[in-house]
């Protein structure tokens, strides 16, 4: 502890790097440049699930300015992955999600690299896509990772089929406890996939020196993880990998494991030149990570007086295509599923499942927000059933000092009740809870409690006394923007009683920084703060030792004084740190260095109390507690929820920098509002539909209130630096259930599916449906959960509360639909009426084979063809496959229609037309252009202009149509034409082809 | 026939000659040719606002301006707000209020705030929100940004 | 390869250049065009910027009370214009809610309408305001009503080499009022559903005429003349408006996309029509 009172810890000093950020001088990865630098582009897989059959990189290599083209085939089989080693530098043998990096190019400029990447020709054999949890867990499901059994795993994983981790945590005896309960609530909750949407897209710059050592700067949360991932992916010794981070423009968990670093390092090694890759926003959305979508069945039982006796939870987390840290996310979710309450009988079981989507991984909350949405919604539902106020029910069961968390850890200081009472009082809960309607809106307030953790794994710090008596602090902590550089500098300054300007907090560098797992788990202030504080203490001791010699005084009579001095207690006699430094460097002892190293050392889980199967953690960290209340107004015309005010109380132990703590709470809250109300990644088959800020909306200044009240609660953490705990994540964790509970208070409706979109709210309000999870047949188009049956025995006690069938994706926004009814139909695959008409038309014309080079324009037609038993649908990836299919159909006496979207066009049309012409083979081709390309339909105009003379020369009849709905009649006519005439190919083009003659005879 | 042209741009009061064709945006020129890296490429689609600069005093997306059309106009970037090493009042307010977290959105955010303050020196909360409504920030929740601008306008 | 940039100073020069270049695009505000080029969705060989053509800029009130808005007038200018009152307030309302401030500082009405996106804000508003567009091309000048101009998704009546030079709004009668109601899932987004209403009341405070146009619910703005006629002479009581709204909703053909499902949009149309009509009814002066 300190000799004098605190002077810098507890002040809201501006961030050390704020000036640089505000003048544009702060450097992020894309601002860096090295001599002779090349630019890289990454090619993502167009398929959600496919075997890689061959690569042809000749055309790409031949582009002037290209210096290297690499694919997975160029590298040995080096498994990588943080918990399960299921991935490689670049896709090898298989691709498992659309956007998965399969190849990369380095060239003299970014545009050349991108163009060349598009010329890389990869042959795929499409495999069945597994897009939902249920599909992945079904009997006989296609395996996404056939080799899962052989993969190296760093924990005792229970796995099977597409389940990468099955875990179970139990305490007490849940089965027996139900019979003691007077009230039981059991519901199913669903949450969506959220994009991190940090403002700085993923980027990395790597260069190689003459010894083969790779230096890599990247936008990332952990230099240690970059170093490990690059070394592992490329089979290098870490002695040959140096990782640094310049300023990082946000991360939130999406940059904890490899982004593009291994690929960029590989390009640098291949070319011998520095290479920089900066992902486009669209690529970043599609290639990197998301938050897990989940389905959670939760059951809670209580006595009439509100004492909760039992909690059961069954979690299904959708991991996407690679395991990443999913097993940890699931495990943490299970651990948090009891909530911050003293519930003696608990059973939490979870499955984490591979699907053919972008992988899900850590994201602010790390599995907790989903389970807290379920748990805190259910607490309110239980309160309803008991006739209790929601805060009263929570107070009755809340953990307090000395209580044990699920898992057995004793929480010596638990500020939950403090937080909950402050939120209740400051929000004027009782008044706002009365709710009310005015002006077409209904207002209400809701609350949620939360617990979280900070800590985890290991770290270290080195503090050195510089020659002039100033201080140097070296840690591996990366500041993603949360303010850790500043907070850690404050801790060091406080510990040694110097001004912060005397502390040189150096940038993380794996060459010189001690190991730090990473910036995540809200752990930097607590873990690295402890390390810095301990290292500074060692420096303090050594300073006192030197001073005692210099002053010829007993060490016990000495103390530090503000301003970098050692003073004899009660006197004016002192020496400055400069003097001490001179003494140690040139007199006695040598340079003064203090260090600290530790692995989180709190109480481990207690296996006698909590049975754990498949759980990847032996220990975690210090528990955090908070409470959040949110006031909303729901628009009764549209169902849109407007958040008006929030009161967010978090027990941070000690706010090292209160302004920074407030900023973290406010920022976490706003990110939570997006999660609660409208953020959602949407899939159409395997393709992400909204990989852009145009289509994936995050909250802007008009979408959130100004009245966000962070309430800093300080019940000091005995093991924390100056009593501090973490705050990075908790601000996010309770927001969604607080809002759902507020909506319930305002409108009477209970929604159990995120996001709480206006559609879901309005539909529920109109159906007056107190128990429905969401509207039937047409909510937003999330595809991950088709709830037809739960894979394990469903234990729902009120069947009508299980959500109705959710229909999977519907067409991308660019697809126009036929006029007339668009009423969706029931059944597991949703076929739009337009697609149905199209398919009927095809069958009517005698077509039994449809081959397509698909993109997204006619996605619903492809689905309809697939779903139809009379049509054989063949998606191809290369137009070169089409003639073969046509030939096969012809020889078998069957009629085939070839469909090509934009990418087909000239490259496709010409060879196929020639092939058919040469072999006198009747074929009908449909070329489709998007309608959404600007003032003139450029594709149609351009390609029709260049293709028309060619088609004329080959005397191939073709027909132009303007609208998608005219394609079918034209196909019919074209088929009749192909049948009856000697012309081999009849071609149908859609889109606007103006001023070109129509040849079709009809 | 279509090659890059030489284009004269006036940026932060200084003349620069750059090469640009019809596909070169102002953001490309700032970052690739002039090393004025304050304006950031957050989406290149004009949605995030991290590339905002002032064009004749108005906040615009540098990623959506064809560089050649900016000839003869006054371009101000974040780098041009300081005077003799002194931060502008808006910049200083952002620093003092603790509005800066990761900082990636900040150049664009500050530019939008500057444009507002120049047009309306006493802007209130709603006007401030409107002015920054096109600057996405994933870190701050906007509260301290509004606090910062209010401290300058008194609104 | 490079993209040529032309910056003519007259409309004649712009039209001539368009006739000469093989693959040229008119560049208005660039807020959509440049974004598409940045994504490599389009790769024109040449851009013909309209920014230096002074005659295309500005709002003026004609002698007969009609209002002319030059094609290169920025959304921001339209959003602040005190000259757009009465029925014309719809156009001002719409301009205020397009995207975000920085986009509005450069985006132009000519560019926006030429893009022909039925999810955008101007199309429905201009149809409700009974606007006509002036179009110039190689074959000379012509005029076309907004209602005929917007034909399909990203498809307008413009032919090759033509550009919109201006928008004319007919004089707003003294009792005329206009209102643009936009519902979007987040600020700055395209509408999920939008409703533009223009009306004029008689001296007896009955509806003289009303135009109700729905945007973002089909390939082009939706108007049902029958439904509007049925309201003429009446009080705009809730039942009559609801009946008209249902007819208009039935004529809508909404997409299913991230901004809203087909079902939700259909559900919303009558509700927003009722809200928009009520809001228009109570608007004063402006």
Q: Which residue of B has its CA nearest to A32?
A: B37
pLDDT tens digits along C57-109: 999 999 999 999 999 999 999 999 999 999 999 999 999 999 999 999 999 99
pLDDT at A906: 59
Q: Is C216 left (phi over 0), alpha (psi -120 to 50) or beta?
A: left
Q: Is C265 on the interface with A (CB under 8 A)?
A: no
pLDDT tens digits along A884-941: 887 788 778 787 788 776 544 556 667 777 777 677 666 667 666 554 333 344 455 5
Element (H, E) at A316: strand A308-320
Could C155 and A992 be called an inter-chain contact, meaning their C-beta atoms sit closer than 8 Å?
yes
- Per-residue pLDDT, averaged over C235-260, amounts to 95
Could A931 and C32 be called an inter-chain contact, meaning their C-beta atoms sit closer than 8 Å?
no
Could you tell me which residue, A650 or A940, shows the higher pLDDT? A650
pLDDT at A772 over 80: no
Closest residue by Cα to residue B42 from A279, A222, A667, C32: A279
Sign of CA dihedral A115, A120, A126, A131: negative
Which of the four pLDDT bands, split at 50, 70 and 90, describes residue A6? low
Which of the four pLDDT bands, split at 50, 70 and 90, describes residue A4? very low
pLDDT at B27 over 90: yes
pLDDT at C285: 57
Residues of B in contact with C42 (CB under 8 A): none
Beta-carbon contacts of residue A825 (< 8 Å; ≥ 6 apart): A777, A831
CB nearest to A778's CB, from C26, C192, C261:
C261
How far apart (Å, rounded) are the C-alpha atoms in residues A516 and A316?
A: 31
- Asked if residue C213 lies in contact with residue C196, where contact means CB atoms within 8 angstroms, the answer is yes
Q: What value, to the nearest 5°, has the Cα angle with vertex A438 and ends A433 and A441?
A: 80
Burial of C237 (0-12, 13-18, 19+ CB in 10 A): exposed
How far apart (Å, rounded) are the C-alpha atoms in residues A630 and A647?
A: 6
pLDDT at A945 over 80: no
Q: Beta strands of A603-705 (E only): which ranges?
A: 611-613, 621-635, 641-651, 683-684, 687-688
Q: Is A893 on the interface with C (CB under 8 A)?
A: no
pLDDT at A2 over 90: no
Instruction: Supply the DSSP string of chain C, one letter for each residue.
Output: ---EEE--SSHHHHHHHHHH-SSEEEESS-TTHHHHHHTTS---SEEEE-TT-GGG--EEE-TTS-EEEETT-BHHHHHH-TT--GGGHHHHHHHHTSS-HHHHHH-BHHHHHHHT-TTSSHHHHHHHTT-EEEEEETTEEEEEEHHHHEEETTEESPPTT-EEEEEEEPPPPTTEEEEEEEE-SSTTSPPSEEEEEEEEE-TTSSEEEEEEEEESSSSS-B--HHHHHHHTTS---HHHHHHHHHHHHHT-----BTTB-HHHHHHHHHHHHHHHHHHHHT----
- Per-residue pLDDT, averaged over C37-59, amounts to 96
Enter the DSSP assignment of B29.
I
How far apart (Å, rounded) are the C-alpha atoms in residues A585 and A566?
A: 17
- Asked if residue C111 lies in contact with residue C48, where contact means CB atoms within 8 angstroms, the answer is no
Enter the DSSP assignment of A139.
T
Residues of B in contact with A660 (CB under 8 A): 98
Lowest mean pLDDT among A122-126, A410-414, A603-607, B125-129: A603-607
Cis before A755 (ω within 30): yes
CB nearest to C38's CB, from B4, B20, B63:
B63
pLDDT at A990 over 60: no
pLDDT at A898: 80
Size of the B and C interface in Cβ pairs below 8 Å: 100
pLDDT at A780 over 60: no
Burial of A385 (0-12, 13-18, 19+ CB in 10 A): middle
- Per-residue pLDDT, averaged over C168-190, amounts to 96
Could B103 and A252 be called an inter-chain contact, meaning their C-beta atoms sit closer than 8 Å?
no
* Cβ within 8 Å of C, A 744-773: 757-759, 762-763, 766
Lowest mean pLDDT among A715-724, A803-812, C231-240: A803-812
Strand partners, A244: A217, A509
Could C35 and B46 be called an inter-chain contact, meaning their C-beta atoms sit closer than 8 Å?
yes
Question: Measured between CA atoms, how close is B91 to chain A, in angstroms?
Answer: 6
Q: Say what the alpha-carbon torsion angle A954, A959, A964, A970 is, to the nearest 10 degrees.
A: -110
How far apart (Å, rounded) are the C-alpha atoms in residues B121 and B111?
A: 15
Q: Which residue of B has its CA nearest to C52?
A: B69
C-alpha distances out from residue C49 to B10, C15, C29, C135, Å = 20, 11, 9, 16
- Per-residue pLDDT, averaged over C262-283, amounts to 95
Closest residue by Cα to residue A22 from B67, C51, B102, C4: B102
Sign of CA dihedral C232, C238, C241, C246: negative
Size of the A and C interface in Cβ pairs below 8 Å: 143
Q: Which residue of C has its CA nearest to B131?
A: C101
Could B104 and A249 be called an inter-chain contact, meaning their C-beta atoms sit closer than 8 Å?
yes
pLDDT at A137 over 60: yes
Is the pTM value of this prediction over 0.80?
yes
Q: Is B21 on the interface with C (CB under 8 A)?
A: yes
Enter the DSSP assignment of A398.
B
pLDDT at A896: 79
pLDDT at A825: 31
Could C5 and B64 be called an inter-chain contact, meaning their C-beta atoms sit closer than 8 Å?
no
- What is chain C's mean pLDDT, rounded? 96
Beta-carbon contacts of residue A150 (< 8 Å; ≥ 6 apart): none
pLDDT tens digits along C195-218: 999 999 999 989 999 999 999 999
Could you tell me which residue, A789 or A87, shows the higher pLDDT? A87
CB nearest to C34's CB, from B52, B58, B66:
B66
How far apart (Å, rounded) are the C-alpha atoms in residues A565 and A656?
A: 23
* Cβ within 8 Å of A, C 146-185: 152-156, 158-160, 183, 185
How far apart (Å, rounded) are the C-alpha atoms in residues A264 and B27?
A: 24
pLDDT at A813: 30
Tokens 């260095």, residue located = A593
As a whole-number percent, the residues of chain A with pLDDT over 70 amount to: 83
pLDDT at A100 over 70: yes
pLDDT tens digits along A589-648: 999 999 999 999 888 899 899 999 999 998 899 999 999 999 999 999 999 999 999 999
CB nearest to A280's CB, from B39, B44, B91:
B44
CB nearest to A813's CB, from C152, C219, C255:
C255
Please give the structure tokens belonging to residue C223: 């108007």
Instruction: Supply the DSSP string of A237-291, one letter for each residue.
Output: -GGGEEEE--B----TTTTSS-SSHHHHHHHHHHHSS-EEEE--HHHHHHHS-BP
How far apart (Å, rounded) are the C-alpha atoms in residues A603 and A409?
A: 6
Size of the A and B interface in Cβ pairs below 8 Å: 178
- What is chain A's mean pLDDT, rounded? 87
pLDDT at A995 over 90: no
pLDDT at A923: 67
CB nearest to A817's CB, from C25, C189, C255:
C255
Closest residue by Cα to residue C49 from C65, C32, C30: C30
Cα A413 versus chain centre, distance? 32
Please give the structure tokens belonging to residue A106: 């380095």
Sign of CA dihedral C116, C117, C122, C128: positive
How far apart (Å, rounded) are the C-alpha atoms in residues B144 and B138?
A: 13
pLDDT tens digits along A710-763: 999 999 999 999 999 999 999 999 999 999 999 999 999 999 999 999 999 999
**Interface predicted TM-score (ipTM):** 0.98
How far apart (Å, rounded) are the C-alpha atoms in residues A426 and A419?
A: 11
Could C115 and A934 be called an inter-chain contact, meaning their C-beta atoms sit closer than 8 Å?
yes
Which of the four pLDDT bands, split at 50, 70 and 90, describes residue C286? low
pLDDT at A957 over 70: no
pLDDT at A862: 79
Strand partners, A51: A94, A125
pLDDT at A897: 81
Question: Measured between CA atoms, how close is A638 to chain C, in angstroms?
Answer: 7
- Asked if residue B149 lies in contact with residue B117, where contact means CB atoms within 8 angstroms, the answer is yes
Of the residues A673, A776, A936, A937, the best mutation for testing chain C's interface (the one with the most C CB atoms within 10 Å of its CB) is A936
How far apart (Å, rounded) are the C-alpha atoms in residues C168 and C73?
A: 13
pLDDT at A434: 93
pLDDT tens digits along A299-333: 999 999 999 999 999 999 999 999 999 999 999 99
pLDDT at A662: 98
pLDDT tens digits along A33-42: 999 999 999 9
Residues of A in contact with B140 (CB under 8 A): 663, 666-667, 670
pLDDT at A899: 78
How far apart (Å, rounded) are the C-alpha atoms in residues A365 and A452?
A: 8
Contact partners for chain C, using 3 or more CB pairs closer than 8 A, are A, B
Q: Which residue of A has its CA nearest to C155?
A: A935
Could C262 and A758 be called an inter-chain contact, meaning their C-beta atoms sit closer than 8 Å?
no
Q: Is B136 on the interface with C (CB under 8 A)?
A: no
Helices (H), ranges, A295-428 = 326-336, 368-386, 390-397, 416-426
- What burial letters (b/e) apply to C75-113, b meaning 16+ CB within 10 Å? bbbbbebeebbbbbbbbbbbbbbbbbbbbbbbbbbbbbb
pLDDT at A999 over 70: no
Please give the structure tokens belonging to residue A550: 């210099």
User: Which chain C residues have any C-beta within 8 angstroms of a chain B C-beta?
Assistant: 1-5, 7, 27, 30-31, 34-35, 37-39, 44-47, 49, 51, 76, 99-103, 105-106, 187-188
As a whole-number percent, the residues of chain A with pLDDT over 90 amount to: 74
pLDDT at A977: 62
Could B38 and A659 be called an inter-chain contact, meaning their C-beta atoms sit closer than 8 Å?
no
CB nearest to A670's CB, from B106, B141, B146:
B141
pLDDT at A958 over 60: yes
Q: Is C25 on the interface with A (CB under 8 A)?
A: yes
Could A701 and B104 be called an inter-chain contact, meaning their C-beta atoms sit closer than 8 Å?
no
Phi, psi of A210 (to 5 degrees): -70, -10
As a whole-number percent, the residues of chain C with pLDDT over 70 amount to: 99
The full 3-state SS of A499-542, as one line of letters, equals CHHHEEECCCECCCCCCCCCCCCCCHHHHHHHHHHHHHHHHHHH
Lowest mean pLDDT among A376-390, A807-821, C112-126, C257-271: A807-821
How far apart (Å, rounded) are the C-alpha atoms in residues A94 and B56?
A: 53
pLDDT tens digits along A540-578: 999 999 999 999 999 999 999 999 999 999 999 999 999
Could A698 and B82 be called an inter-chain contact, meaning their C-beta atoms sit closer than 8 Å?
no
How far apart (Å, rounded) are the C-alpha atoms in residues A625 and A398?
A: 10
Could you tell me which residue, A505 or A830, shows the higher pLDDT? A505
Alpha carbons within 13 A on the beta-carbon side of A427: 33
CB nearest to B102's CB, from A27, A250, A700:
A250
pLDDT tens digits along B76-95: 999 999 999 999 999 999 99
Phi, psi of A55 (to 5 degrees): -125, 140
pLDDT at A907: 62
Q: Is B5 on the interface with C (CB under 8 A)?
A: yes
pLDDT at C213: 98
C-alpha distances out from residue C200 to A261, C11, C175, C246, Å = 64, 36, 5, 22
How far apart (Å, rounded) are the C-alpha atoms in residues A222 and A245?
A: 8
CB nearest to C5's CB, from B22, B55, B134:
B22
- Asked if residue B48 lies in contact with residue A197, where contact means CB atoms within 8 angstroms, the answer is no
Could B63 and C102 be called an inter-chain contact, meaning their C-beta atoms sit closer than 8 Å?
no
pLDDT at A893: 77
pLDDT at A832: 64
Residues of B in contact with A669 (CB under 8 A): 141
pLDDT at A883: 76
Which of the four pLDDT bands, split at 50, 70 and 90, describes residue A783? very low
How far apart (Å, rounded) are the C-alpha atoms in residues A896 and A793?
A: 45
Question: Measured between CA atoms, how close is B147 to chain A, in angstroms?
Answer: 9
Question: Measured between CA atoms, how close is B80 to chain A, in angstroms?
Answer: 8
Which of the four pLDDT bands, split at 50, 70 and 90, describes residue A831? low
pLDDT at A885: 81
How far apart (Å, rounded) are the C-alpha atoms in residues A739 and A377?
A: 9
- Asked if residue A221 lies in contact with residue A186, where contact means CB atoms within 8 angstroms, the answer is no
Element (H, E) at A901: none
Cα C72 versus chain centre, distance? 14
How far apart (Å, rounded) are the C-alpha atoms in residues C2 and B20?
A: 9
- Per-residue pLDDT, averaged over A177-190, amounts to 97
Tokens 């159906």, residue located = A767
Question: Measured between CA atoms, how close is B71 to chain A, in angstroms?
Answer: 23
């Amino acid at each position: 502890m300190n000799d004098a009172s605190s002077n810098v810890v507890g002040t809201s000093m501006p961030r050390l790097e704020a000036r640089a950020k505000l003048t544009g001088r702060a450097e992020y990865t894309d601002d860096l440049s090295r001599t002779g630098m090349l630019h890289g582009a990454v090619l993502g897989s167009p398929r959600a699930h496919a075997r890689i059959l061959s690569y042809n990189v000749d055309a790409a290599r031949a582009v002037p300015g290209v210096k290297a083209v690499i694919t997975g085939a160029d590298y040995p089989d080096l498994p990588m992955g943080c918990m399960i080693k299921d991935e490689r530098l670049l896709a090898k043998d298989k691709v498992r999600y659309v956007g998965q990096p399969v190849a990369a190019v380095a060239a003299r400029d970014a545009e050349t690299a991108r163009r060349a990447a598009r010329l890389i020709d990869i042959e795929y054999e499409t495999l069945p896509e597994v897009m939902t949890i249920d599909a992945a867990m079904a009997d006989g499901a296609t395996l996404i990772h056939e080799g899962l059994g052989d993969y190296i795993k760093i924990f005792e994983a229970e796995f099977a089929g597409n389940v990468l981790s099955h875990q179970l945590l139990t305490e007490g005896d849940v089965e027996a406890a139900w019979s003691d309960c007077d009230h039981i609530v059991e519901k199913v909750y669903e949450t969506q996939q959220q994009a991190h949407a940090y403002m700085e897209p993923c980027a990395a710059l790597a260069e190689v020196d003459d010894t083969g050592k790779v230096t890599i700067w990247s936008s990332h949360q952990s230099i240690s993880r970059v170093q490990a991932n690059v070394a592992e992916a490329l089979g290098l010794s870490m002695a040959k990998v140096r990782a640094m981070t310049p300023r990082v423009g946000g991360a939130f968990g999406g940059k904890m494991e490899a982004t593009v670093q291994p690929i960029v390092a590989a390009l640098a090694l291949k070319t011998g030149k520095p290479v920089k890759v900066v992902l486009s926003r669209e690529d970043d959305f599609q290639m990197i990570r998301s938050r897990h979508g989940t389905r959670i069945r939760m059951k809670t039982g209580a006595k009439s007086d509100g004492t909760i006796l039992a909690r059961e939870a069954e979690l299904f987390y959708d991991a996407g295509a690679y395991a990443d840290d999913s097993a940890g996310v699931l495990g943490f979710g299970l651990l948090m599923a009891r909530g911050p309450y003293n519930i003696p009988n608990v059973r939490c079981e979870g499955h984490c499942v591979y699907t053919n989507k972008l992988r899900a991984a850590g994201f602010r909350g790390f599995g907790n927000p989903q389970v807290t949405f379920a748990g805190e919604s259910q607490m309110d539902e239980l309160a309803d059933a008991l006739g209790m106020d929601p805060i009263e029910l929570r107070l009755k069961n809340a953990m307090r000092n000395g209580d044990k968390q699920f898992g057995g850890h004793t929480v010596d200081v638990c500020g939950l009740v403090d937080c909950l009472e402050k939120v209740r009082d400051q929000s004027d809960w009782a008044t706002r809870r009365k709710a009310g309607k005015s002006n077409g809106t209904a207002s209400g307030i809701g609350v949620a409690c939360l617990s979280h953790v900070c800590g985890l794994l290991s770290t270290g710090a080195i503090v050195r006394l510089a020659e002039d008596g100033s201080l140097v602090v070296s840690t591996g902590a990366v500041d993603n923007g949360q303010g850790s550089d500043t907070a850690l500098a404050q801790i060091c300054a406080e510990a040694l009683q110097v001004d912060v300007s005397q502390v040189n907090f150096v940038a993380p560098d794996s060459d010189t920084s001690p190991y730090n797992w990473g910036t995540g788990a809200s752990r930097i202030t607590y873990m690295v703060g402890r390390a810095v504080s301990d290292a500074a203490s060692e420096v303090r001791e050594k300073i006192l030792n030197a001073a005692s010699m210099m002053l010829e005084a007993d060490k016990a009579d000495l103390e530090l004084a503000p301003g970098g001095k050692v003073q004899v207690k009660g006197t004016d006699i002192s020496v400055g740190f400069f003097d001490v430094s001179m003494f140690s460097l040139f007199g006695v002892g040598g340079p003064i260095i203090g260090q600290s190293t530790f692995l989180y050392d709190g109480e481990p889980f207690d296996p006698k109390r909590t049975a754990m199967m498949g759980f990847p953690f032996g220990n975690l960290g210090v528990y955090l507690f908070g409470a959040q209340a949110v006031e909303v107004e729901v628009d009764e015309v549209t169902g849109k929820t407007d958040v008006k005010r929030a009161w967010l109380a978090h027990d941070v132990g000690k706010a090292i920098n209160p302004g920074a703590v407030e900023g973290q709470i406010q920022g976490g809250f706003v990110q939570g509002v997006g999660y609660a109300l409208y953020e959602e990644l949407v899939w159409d088959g395997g393709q992400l539909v909204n990989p852009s800020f145009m289509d994936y909306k995050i909250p802007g200044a008009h979408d959130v209130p100004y009245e966000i009240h962070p309430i800093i609660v300080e019940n000091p953490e005995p093991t924390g630096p100056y009593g501090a705990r973490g705050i990075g994540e908790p601000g996010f964790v309770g927001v969604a259930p607080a809002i759902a509970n507020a909506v319930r208070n305002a409108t009477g409706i209970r929604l159990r599916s995120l996001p709480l979109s206006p559609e879901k709210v309005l539909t529920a309000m109109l159906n007056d449906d107190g128990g429905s999870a969401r509207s039937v047949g047409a909510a937003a188009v999330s595809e991950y959960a088709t709830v037809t049956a739960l894979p394990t025995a469903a234990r729902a006690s009120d069947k009508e509360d299980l959500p109705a069938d959710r229909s999977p994706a519907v067409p991308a926004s660019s697809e126009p639909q036929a006029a007339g009814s668009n009423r969706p139909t029931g059944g597991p695959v949703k076929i739009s009426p337009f697609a149905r008409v199209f398919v009927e038309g095809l069958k009517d014309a005698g077509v039994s084979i449809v081959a397509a080079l698909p993109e997204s324009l006619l996605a619903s037609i492809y689905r309809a063809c697939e779903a139809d038993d009379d049509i054989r649908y063949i998606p191809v990836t290369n137009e070169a496959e089409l003639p073969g299919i046509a030939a096969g159909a012809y020889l078998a006496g069957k009629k085939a229609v070839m469909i090509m979207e934009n990418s087909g066009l000239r490259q496709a049309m010409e060879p196929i037309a020639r092939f058919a012409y040469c072999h006198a083979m009747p074929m009908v081709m449909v070329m489709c252009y998007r309608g959404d390309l600007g003032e003139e339909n450029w594709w149609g105009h351009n390609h029709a202009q260049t293709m028309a003379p060619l088609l004329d020369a080959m005397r191939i009849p073709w027909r132009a149509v303007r609208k998608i709905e005219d394609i079918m009649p034209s196909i019919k006519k074209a088929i009749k034409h192909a049948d009856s005439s000697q012309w081999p190919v009849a071609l149908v083009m859609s889109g606007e082809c103006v001023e070109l003659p129509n040849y079709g005879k009809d | 026939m279509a090659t890059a042209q030489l284009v004269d741009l006036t940026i932060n009061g200084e003349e620069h000659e750059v090469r640009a064709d019809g596909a070169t945006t102002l953001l490309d020129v700032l970052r690739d040719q002039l090393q004025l890296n304050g304006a950031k490429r957050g989406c290149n689609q004009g949605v995030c606002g991290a590339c905002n600069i002032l064009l004749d005093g108005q906040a615009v997306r540098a990623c959506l301006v064809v560089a050649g059309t900016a000839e003869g106009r006054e371009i101000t970037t974040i780098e041009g707000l300081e005077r003799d090493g002194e931060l502008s009042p808006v910049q200083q307010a952002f620093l003092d209020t603790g509005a800066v977290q990761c900082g990636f959105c900040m150049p664009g955010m500050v530019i939008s705030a500057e444009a507002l303050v120049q047009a309306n020196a006493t802007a209130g909360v709603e006007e401030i929100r409107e002015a920054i409504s096109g600057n996405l920030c994933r870190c701050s929740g906007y509260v301290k940004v509004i606090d910062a601008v209010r401290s300058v306008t008194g609104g | 390869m490079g993209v040529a940039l032309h910056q003519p100073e007259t409309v004649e020069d712009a039209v001539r250049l368009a006739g000469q270049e093989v693959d040229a695009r008119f560049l208005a505000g660039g807020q959509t065009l440049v974004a598409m080029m940045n994504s490599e969705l389009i790769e024109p060989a040449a851009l013909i910027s309209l920014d230096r053509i002074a005659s295309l800029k500005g709002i003026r009130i004609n002698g007969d009370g009609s209002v002319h808005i030059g094609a290169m007038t920025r959304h921001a200018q339209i959003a602040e214009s005190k000259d757009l009152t009465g029925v014309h307030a719809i156009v001002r309302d719409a301009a205020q809610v397009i995207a975000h401030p920085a986009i509005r500082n450069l985006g132009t009405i000519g560019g926006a309408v030429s893009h022909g996106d039925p999810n955008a804000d101007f199309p429905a508003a201009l149809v409700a305001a009974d606007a006509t567009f002036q179009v110039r091309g190689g074959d000379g000048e012509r005029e076309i009503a907004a209602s005929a101009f917007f034909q399909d998704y990203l498809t307008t009546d413009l032919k090759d080499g033509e550009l919109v030079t201006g928008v004319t709004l007919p004089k707003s009668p003294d009792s005329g009022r206009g209102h643009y109601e936009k519902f979007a899932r987040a600020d700055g987004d395209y509408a999920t559903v939008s409703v533009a209403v223009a009306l004029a009341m008689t001296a007896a405070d009955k509806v003289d005429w009303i135009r109700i146009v729905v945007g973002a619910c089909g390939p082009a703005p939706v108007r049902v003349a029958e439904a509007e006629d049925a309201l003429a002479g009446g009080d705009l009581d809730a039942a009559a408006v609801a009946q008209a709204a249902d007819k208009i909703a039935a004529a809508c053909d909404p997409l299913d996309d991230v901004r809203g499902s087909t079902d939700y949009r259909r559900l919303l149309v009558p509700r927003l029509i009722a809200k928009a009509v009520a809001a228009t009814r109570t608007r004063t002066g402006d």
